[in-house]
Protein backbone atom coordinates (compact mmCIF):
# COMPACT_ATOMS: atom_id res chain seq x y z
CA UNK A 1 0.00 0.00 0.00
CA UNK A 2 1.27 3.47 -0.94
CA UNK A 3 1.78 5.56 2.23
CA UNK A 4 1.21 8.68 0.11
CA UNK A 5 -2.49 7.81 0.15
CA UNK A 6 -2.67 8.79 3.82
CA UNK A 7 -2.61 12.18 5.52
CA UNK A 8 -3.46 11.27 9.14
CA UNK A 9 -2.26 7.69 9.65
CA UNK A 10 0.76 5.53 8.90
CA UNK A 11 0.45 2.00 7.54
CA UNK A 12 3.17 -0.64 7.48
CA UNK A 13 3.69 -4.33 8.14
CA UNK A 14 6.15 -6.35 10.22
CA UNK A 15 9.30 -7.73 8.63
CA UNK A 16 7.61 -11.10 8.11
CA UNK A 17 4.47 -9.40 6.75
CA UNK A 18 2.18 -11.09 9.26
CA UNK A 19 1.25 -8.05 11.36
CA UNK A 20 -0.21 -4.85 9.91
CA UNK A 21 0.36 -1.66 11.91
CA UNK A 22 -2.00 1.30 11.68
CA UNK A 23 -0.59 4.34 13.48
CA UNK A 24 -2.69 7.43 14.14
CA UNK A 25 -0.29 10.13 13.04
CA UNK A 26 -1.21 13.63 14.17
CA UNK A 27 1.14 13.78 17.17
CA UNK A 28 1.11 17.58 17.51
CA UNK A 29 -2.69 17.39 17.95
CA UNK A 30 -2.57 14.33 20.29
CA UNK A 31 -3.73 12.29 17.26
CA UNK A 32 -7.06 14.09 17.37
CA UNK A 33 -9.55 12.97 14.74
CA UNK A 34 -9.66 15.15 11.63
CA UNK A 35 -11.68 14.84 8.44
CA UNK A 36 -9.27 12.26 6.96
CA UNK A 37 -8.63 9.86 9.84
CA UNK A 38 -11.91 7.85 9.92
CA UNK A 39 -11.82 7.04 6.20
CA UNK A 40 -8.11 6.25 6.34
CA UNK A 41 -8.61 3.79 9.21
CA UNK A 42 -11.23 1.99 7.14
CA UNK A 43 -8.99 1.95 4.05
CA UNK A 44 -6.05 0.56 6.04
CA UNK A 45 -8.14 -2.17 7.70
CA UNK A 46 -9.47 -3.25 4.33
CA UNK A 47 -5.95 -3.30 2.89
CA UNK A 48 -4.78 -5.54 5.75
CA UNK A 49 -7.73 -7.85 5.22
CA UNK A 50 -6.93 -8.10 1.52
CA UNK A 51 -3.26 -8.94 2.21
CA UNK A 52 -2.99 -12.73 2.39
CA UNK A 53 0.20 -12.48 4.46
CA UNK A 54 -1.36 -10.46 7.28
CA UNK A 55 -2.69 -12.41 10.27
CA UNK A 56 -3.58 -9.56 12.64
CA UNK A 57 -3.73 -5.77 12.89
CA UNK A 58 -2.29 -3.47 15.58
CA UNK A 59 -3.70 0.04 15.99
CA UNK A 60 -1.64 2.56 17.95
CA UNK A 61 -0.89 6.26 18.22
CA UNK A 62 2.21 8.30 17.40
CA UNK A 63 3.63 10.70 20.01
CA UNK A 64 2.38 11.22 23.55
CA UNK A 65 -0.94 9.39 23.38
CA UNK A 66 -3.33 7.15 21.47
CA UNK A 67 -6.09 9.61 20.51
CA UNK A 68 -7.50 12.70 22.21
CA UNK A 69 -10.90 12.55 20.47
CA UNK A 70 -12.21 14.84 17.77
CA UNK A 71 -10.04 17.83 16.86
CA UNK A 72 -11.92 20.75 18.40
CA UNK A 73 -10.02 23.23 16.26
CA UNK A 74 -11.86 21.66 13.32
CA UNK A 75 -15.15 20.34 14.67
CA UNK A 76 -15.80 22.95 17.36
CA UNK A 77 -15.21 25.77 14.91
CA UNK A 78 -17.81 24.25 12.63
CA UNK A 79 -20.14 23.86 15.59
CA UNK A 80 -19.79 27.52 16.51
CA UNK A 81 -20.67 28.45 12.93
CA UNK A 82 -23.71 26.20 13.04
CA UNK A 83 -22.22 23.79 10.54
CA UNK A 84 -22.16 20.00 10.53
CA UNK A 85 -20.20 18.14 11.83
CA UNK A 86 -20.62 19.61 15.29
CA UNK A 87 -23.87 21.46 15.82
CA UNK A 88 -26.36 23.27 13.68
CA UNK A 89 -27.91 26.68 13.40
CA UNK A 90 -31.20 25.92 15.16
CA UNK A 91 -33.02 29.03 13.99
CA UNK A 92 -35.25 26.91 11.78
CA UNK A 93 -35.16 23.78 13.95
CA UNK A 94 -32.86 20.79 14.24
CA UNK A 95 -32.31 18.63 11.16
CA UNK A 96 -31.33 15.17 12.48
CA UNK A 97 -30.63 13.58 9.11
CA UNK A 98 -28.13 16.30 8.23
CA UNK A 99 -26.24 15.43 11.41
CA UNK A 100 -26.68 11.66 11.21
CA UNK A 101 -25.15 11.03 7.79
CA UNK A 102 -21.55 12.22 8.40
CA UNK A 103 -21.43 10.99 12.00
CA UNK A 104 -22.71 7.53 11.06
CA UNK A 105 -20.09 7.41 8.33
CA UNK A 106 -17.41 8.02 10.99
CA UNK A 107 -18.95 5.30 13.16
CA UNK A 108 -18.93 2.87 10.24
CA UNK A 109 -15.25 3.62 9.62
CA UNK A 110 -14.27 2.86 13.22
CA UNK A 111 -16.45 -0.23 13.28
CA UNK A 112 -14.40 -1.62 10.41
CA UNK A 113 -12.02 -2.68 13.21
CA UNK A 114 -14.79 -4.72 14.83
CA UNK A 115 -15.92 -6.28 11.55
CA UNK A 116 -12.37 -6.87 10.29
CA UNK A 117 -11.83 -10.46 9.16
CA UNK A 118 -8.51 -10.45 11.00
CA UNK A 119 -8.00 -9.81 14.72
CA UNK A 120 -7.47 -6.18 15.72
CA UNK A 121 -5.49 -5.04 18.76
CA UNK A 122 -5.45 -1.51 20.18
CA UNK A 123 -2.15 -0.53 21.81
CA UNK A 124 -3.08 2.39 24.08
CA UNK A 125 -0.65 4.77 25.74
CA UNK A 126 -1.28 8.28 27.01
CA UNK A 127 -5.00 8.77 26.52
CA UNK A 128 -7.89 7.32 24.51
CA UNK A 129 -10.50 9.96 25.18
CA UNK A 130 -14.02 10.51 23.78
CA UNK A 131 -13.82 9.62 20.06
CA UNK A 132 -10.45 8.03 20.80
CA UNK A 133 -12.16 5.55 23.13
CA UNK A 134 -14.74 4.90 20.41
CA UNK A 135 -11.90 3.82 18.12
CA UNK A 136 -9.97 1.75 20.67
CA UNK A 137 -13.00 -0.16 21.91
CA UNK A 138 -13.91 -1.25 18.38
CA UNK A 139 -10.78 -3.43 18.40
CA UNK A 140 -11.05 -7.07 19.41
CA UNK A 141 -8.44 -6.70 22.14
CA UNK A 142 -7.14 -3.62 23.96
CA UNK A 143 -3.78 -3.53 25.74
CA UNK A 144 -3.12 -0.38 27.76
CA UNK A 145 -0.25 1.18 29.63
CA UNK A 146 -1.25 1.05 33.30
CA UNK A 147 -0.93 4.84 33.57
CA UNK A 148 -2.85 5.54 30.33
CA UNK A 149 -6.40 6.92 30.54
CA UNK A 150 -9.61 5.98 28.81
CA UNK A 151 -13.15 7.33 29.02
CA UNK A 152 -15.88 9.39 27.41
CA UNK A 153 -16.16 12.81 29.18
CA UNK A 154 -18.63 14.22 26.59
CA UNK A 155 -21.26 11.85 28.04
CA UNK A 156 -21.71 14.62 30.65
CA UNK A 157 -22.67 17.19 27.99
CA UNK A 158 -22.16 17.39 24.20
CA UNK A 159 -21.76 13.78 23.22
CA UNK A 160 -22.82 10.13 23.21
CA UNK A 161 -20.43 7.30 22.22
CA UNK A 162 -21.45 6.40 18.69
CA UNK A 163 -19.68 3.03 18.50
CA UNK A 164 -21.48 2.07 21.75
CA UNK A 165 -19.05 -0.67 22.76
CA UNK A 166 -19.05 -0.05 26.53
CA UNK A 167 -21.86 -2.38 27.58
CA UNK A 168 -20.58 -5.23 25.39
CA UNK A 169 -17.23 -5.09 27.16
CA UNK A 170 -18.13 -4.51 30.81
CA UNK A 171 -21.87 -5.13 31.14
CA UNK A 172 -24.72 -2.69 31.63
CA UNK A 173 -24.03 -1.53 35.18
CA UNK A 174 -20.34 -0.67 34.78
CA UNK A 175 -21.05 0.93 31.41
CA UNK A 176 -23.69 3.11 33.06
CA UNK A 177 -21.25 4.08 35.78
CA UNK A 178 -18.75 5.26 33.14
CA UNK A 179 -21.25 7.15 31.01
CA UNK A 180 -23.24 8.63 33.92
CA UNK A 181 -20.01 10.19 35.26
CA UNK A 182 -17.88 10.75 32.15
CA UNK A 183 -14.86 9.66 34.20
CA UNK A 184 -11.47 8.86 32.78
CA UNK A 185 -9.93 5.75 34.30
CA UNK A 186 -6.40 4.38 34.21
CA UNK A 187 -5.31 1.29 32.33
CA UNK A 188 -5.01 -0.46 35.68
CA UNK A 189 -8.64 0.38 36.54
CA UNK A 190 -9.79 -0.53 33.04
CA UNK A 191 -8.25 -4.00 33.36
CA UNK A 192 -9.82 -4.51 36.79
CA UNK A 193 -13.19 -3.54 35.31
CA UNK A 194 -12.77 -5.95 32.40
CA UNK A 195 -12.76 -3.16 29.81
CA UNK A 196 -9.32 -4.11 28.46
CA UNK A 197 -7.49 -7.42 28.31
CA UNK A 198 -4.20 -6.26 29.84
CA UNK A 199 -2.57 -3.23 31.50
CA UNK A 200 1.20 -3.10 31.87
CA UNK A 201 3.87 -0.51 32.69
CA UNK A 202 4.31 1.86 29.75
CA UNK A 203 7.86 0.61 29.21
CA UNK A 204 6.48 -2.89 28.61
CA UNK A 205 3.51 -1.96 26.41
CA UNK A 206 5.07 -2.54 22.99
CA UNK A 207 6.74 -5.78 24.09
CA UNK A 208 3.44 -7.06 25.52
CA UNK A 209 1.61 -6.37 22.26
CA UNK A 210 4.46 -8.02 20.33
CA UNK A 211 4.13 -11.15 22.48
CA UNK A 212 0.41 -11.25 21.76
CA UNK A 213 0.85 -10.82 18.02
CA UNK A 214 3.60 -13.49 17.96
CA UNK A 215 1.14 -15.95 19.43
CA UNK A 216 -1.79 -14.92 17.22
CA UNK A 217 0.14 -14.90 13.95
CA UNK A 218 1.09 -18.56 14.45
CA UNK A 219 -2.58 -19.44 13.89
CA UNK A 220 -3.79 -19.85 10.27
CA UNK A 221 -5.70 -16.86 8.88
CA UNK A 222 -8.76 -19.00 8.16
CA UNK A 223 -8.88 -20.21 11.77
CA UNK A 224 -8.64 -16.66 13.10
CA UNK A 225 -11.44 -15.60 10.76
CA UNK A 226 -13.74 -18.42 11.82
CA UNK A 227 -13.23 -17.91 15.56
CA UNK A 228 -13.90 -14.20 15.23
CA UNK A 229 -17.04 -14.74 13.14
CA UNK A 230 -18.48 -17.14 15.71
CA UNK A 231 -17.89 -14.71 18.58
CA UNK A 232 -18.95 -11.56 16.72
CA UNK A 233 -22.16 -13.20 15.54
CA UNK A 234 -23.40 -13.29 19.14
CA UNK A 235 -23.63 -9.47 19.28
CA UNK A 236 -23.48 -8.11 15.71
CA UNK A 237 -27.19 -7.45 15.37
CA UNK A 238 -27.48 -5.57 18.64
CA UNK A 239 -24.23 -3.68 17.96
CA UNK A 240 -25.68 -2.28 14.74
CA UNK A 241 -28.93 -1.12 16.33
CA UNK A 242 -27.15 0.33 19.37
CA UNK A 243 -24.72 2.27 17.19
CA UNK A 244 -27.61 3.67 15.18
CA UNK A 245 -29.24 4.93 18.36
CA UNK A 246 -25.95 6.19 19.79
CA UNK A 247 -25.23 8.22 16.66
CA UNK A 248 -28.72 9.76 16.69
CA UNK A 249 -28.42 10.67 20.37
CA UNK A 250 -24.91 12.06 19.79
CA UNK A 251 -26.42 14.60 17.41
CA UNK A 252 -29.18 15.48 19.85
CA UNK A 253 -26.73 16.02 22.73
CA UNK A 254 -24.77 18.52 20.66
CA UNK A 255 -27.94 20.46 19.88
CA UNK A 256 -29.81 20.22 23.20
CA UNK A 257 -30.25 23.23 25.48
CA UNK A 258 -27.27 22.09 27.52
CA UNK A 259 -25.24 21.42 24.41
CA UNK A 260 -25.93 24.92 23.12
CA UNK A 261 -24.91 26.41 26.48
CA UNK A 262 -21.69 24.41 26.33
CA UNK A 263 -20.95 25.82 22.88
CA UNK A 264 -21.74 29.35 23.99
CA UNK A 265 -19.38 29.03 26.94
CA UNK A 266 -16.72 27.68 24.59
CA UNK A 267 -17.25 30.64 22.26
CA UNK A 268 -17.01 33.17 25.08
CA UNK A 269 -14.28 31.64 27.22
CA UNK A 270 -12.67 28.93 25.11
CA UNK A 271 -13.13 25.17 24.98
CA UNK A 272 -10.75 24.48 27.86
CA UNK A 273 -12.97 26.58 30.14
CA UNK A 274 -16.11 24.87 28.84
CA UNK A 275 -14.63 21.40 29.30
CA UNK A 276 -13.45 22.29 32.82
CA UNK A 277 -16.91 23.57 33.78
CA UNK A 278 -18.46 20.37 32.41
CA UNK A 279 -16.04 17.80 33.79
CA UNK A 280 -14.77 19.07 37.14
CA UNK A 281 -17.88 19.16 39.39
CA UNK A 282 -17.68 16.32 41.90
CA UNK A 283 -14.31 15.10 40.62
CA UNK A 284 -12.22 15.50 43.77
CA UNK A 285 -9.07 13.55 44.58
CA UNK A 286 -11.00 11.79 47.34
CA UNK A 287 -13.62 10.71 44.80
CA UNK A 288 -10.92 9.26 42.56
CA UNK A 289 -9.25 7.35 45.36
CA UNK A 290 -12.44 5.89 46.79
CA UNK A 291 -13.84 4.84 43.42
CA UNK A 292 -10.52 3.29 42.42
CA UNK A 293 -10.77 1.04 45.47
CA UNK A 294 -14.36 0.11 44.54
CA UNK A 295 -13.46 -0.76 40.95
The domain that contains 288 carries what CATH number? 3.90.226.10
pLDDT of residue 294: 61
167, 195 Cβ separation under 8 angstroms = no
The answer to whether the CB of 45 falls within 8 A of the CB of 58 is no
What pLDDT is recorded for position 283? 81
Interval 49-59: pLDDT, tens:
999 999 999 99
**Structural domains counted in the chain:** 1
pLDDT at site 2: 65
Cα distance between the two ends of the chain: 43
What is the rounded distance in angstroms from the CA atom of residue 182 to the CA atom of residue 179?
A: 5
pLDDT of res. 165: 97
Residues 241-285 have pLDDT tens digits of 999 999 999 999 999 999 999 988 988 998 889 999 999 988 877
User: Could you tell me whether strands 127-129 and 184-186 are parallel, antiparallel, or unpaired per DSSP bridges?
Assistant: unpaired
In degrees and rounded to multiples of 5, residue 68 shows phi and psi of -90, 15
Given a cut of 70, the residues of the chain with pLDDT beneath it are: 1-2, 76-87, 291-295
3-state secondary structure 76-92: HHHHHCCCCCCCCCHHH
The pLDDT value given to residue 76: 63
pLDDT of the residue at 1: 64
C-alpha span between 51 and 44 (Å, rounded): 11
- Print burial letters for 23-32: b (CB count within 10 Å at least 16), e (below 16): bbbbeebbbb
SS (H, E, C) the chain: CCHHHCCCEEEEECCCCCEEEEEECCHHHCCCECCCHHHHHHHHHHHHHHCCCCCEEEEEECCCCCECCECHHHHHHHHHCCCCCCCCCHHHCCCHHHHHHHHHHHHHHHHHHHHCCCCEEEEECCEEECHHHHHHCCCCEEEEECCCEEECHHHCCCCCCCCCCHHHHHCHHHHHHHHHHCCEEEHHHHHHHCCCCEEECHHHHHHHHHHHHHHHCCCCHHHHHHHHHHHHCCCHHHHHHHHHHHHHHHHHHHHCHHHHHHHHHHHHHCHHHHHHHHHCCCCCHHHHHHHHHHC
109 alpha carbon, distance to own chain's centre: 11
* pLDDT the model gives residue 94: 85
Distance CA(77)–CA(49), nearest Å, equals: 36
pLDDT of the residue at 110 = 98
pLDDT score, position 295: 55
Model pTM score: 0.93
Diameter of the chain by CA atoms? 59
Domain housing 281: 3-294
Please state, in angstroms and rounded to a whole number, the distance separating the CA atoms of residues 198 and 292: 17
Classify residue 73 as exposed, middle or buried by CB count within 10 Å of its CB (0-12, 13-18, 19+): exposed
Amino acid sequence: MDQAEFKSILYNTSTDGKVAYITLNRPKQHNAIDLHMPLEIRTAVRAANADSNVHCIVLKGNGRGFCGGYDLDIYATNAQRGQTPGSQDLTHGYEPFQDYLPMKECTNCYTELFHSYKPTIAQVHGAAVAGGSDIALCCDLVVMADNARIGYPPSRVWGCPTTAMWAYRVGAEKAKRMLFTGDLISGEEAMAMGLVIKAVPSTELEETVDLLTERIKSVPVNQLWMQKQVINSTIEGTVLSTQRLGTIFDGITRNSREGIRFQQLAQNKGFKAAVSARDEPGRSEEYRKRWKSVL
